Amino acid sequence: MTGWRKTRRSFIRVLQLLAIPYLLVVLAVLIFQRRLIYLPTKIPADVIESVAVGHGFAPWKNSAGELIGWKMPAKTNATASVLIVHGNAGCALSRDYLAQPIHDAADVNVFVLEYPGYGARGGSPGKESMVASAEAAFQLLPENLPRYVVSESIGAGVACALAKAHPQAVAGLALFVPYHELASVAQRQMWFLPAYFLLRDRFHPADCLKAYRGPVKFIVAGADEILGAETGKKLFAEYAGPKELQIFPGAHHNDIAGQPAAWWQGVFSFWQNNRNP
């Protein structure tokens, strides 16, 4: 009996020794999770506009004169506006591979939103600040032209939040490597932690799209090593409005957003042929 008690005590001590560092890891993830999720590139304000010229962008400012992103004005009379909400890494200036082909595909004004805390923009990234900045930016787009929204990765949560808030005004969506809900993605990435419950910024595109019936193009990387392809397929399957799914077999998470102008012409045709009722 004494031997069993010693064994039990030893077992409890081992559990305690393992539990303490595990709980410290959980606490660290809880406190610093936004540093793990958001990976902004910072560019000094005094040089950013000269850098933008090299990427083909002009400054996009709000009514207060604050820089909120970048734009490529239509070559002739604009027929629509396209707002790009990018992924969690880099900054808006690095999205010329998205903006330029869209601009080349049609006579549209292209705008790339800069999230708070990215580029030269002040503030900190997070669900509330990102959605609020997208809402303010969307309001600046001309209401007399169709307004489309294009997203990458985590930006799907921002784009779908706009679609929920403006189900009639958002004329169409194109979602690159989207996800059903961010909490499940976090759990997939950190399977050894209760990440689903720890996540603070709970973007939920599937829930947002329940209020929307405009045309949505879903673009999924078949070998997505970050989100997994299934989460984008699930988002597509549950959407009740006009939709198209394109899967790039063997493509990884960062491989598919740079599509040519001819591909974007097909997206515009899909949007226009399935106009938001």
What is the full per-residue pLDDT of the chain (277 aa) written as tens digits? 466 666 666 655 655 555 567 565 555 556 666 677 788 999 998 899 988 988 889 999 999 999 999 999 998 899 999 999 999 999 999 999 999 999 999 999 999 999 999 999 999 999 999 999 999 999 999 999 999 999 999 999 999 999 999 999 999 999 999 999 988 887 877 777 676 777 788 899 999 999 999 999 999 999 999 999 999 999 999 999 999 999 999 999 999 999 999 999 999 999 999 987 6
The confidence score (pLDDT) of residue 19 equals 59
How far is residue 97 from each of residues 41, 55, 118, 136, 194, measured CA to CA in Å? 17, 9, 18, 24, 36
Question: 148 - beta bridge partners?
Answer: 82, 172
The confidence score (pLDDT) of residue 197 equals 72
Q: What does DSSP assign to residue 254?
A: T
The confidence score (pLDDT) of residue 45 equals 87
The confidence score (pLDDT) of residue 184 equals 85
Half-sphere exposure of 145 (CA within 13 A, CB side): 20
Query: Where are the strands (E) in the chain, listed by range?
Result: 39-40, 58-61, 67-72, 80-85, 89-90, 108-113, 147-152, 170-176, 216-221, 243-248
Beta-carbon contacts of 67 under 8 Å, excluding residues fewer than 6 positions away, are 45, 48, 59, 60, 61, 114, 119, 120, 121
The confidence score (pLDDT) of residue 29 equals 58
Q: What does DSSP assign to residue 257?
A: S
Q: What does DSSP assign to residue 84?
A: E
Strands 39-40 and 89-90: parallel
The confidence score (pLDDT) of residue 229 equals 95
Is the pTM for the entire model greater than 0.75?
yes
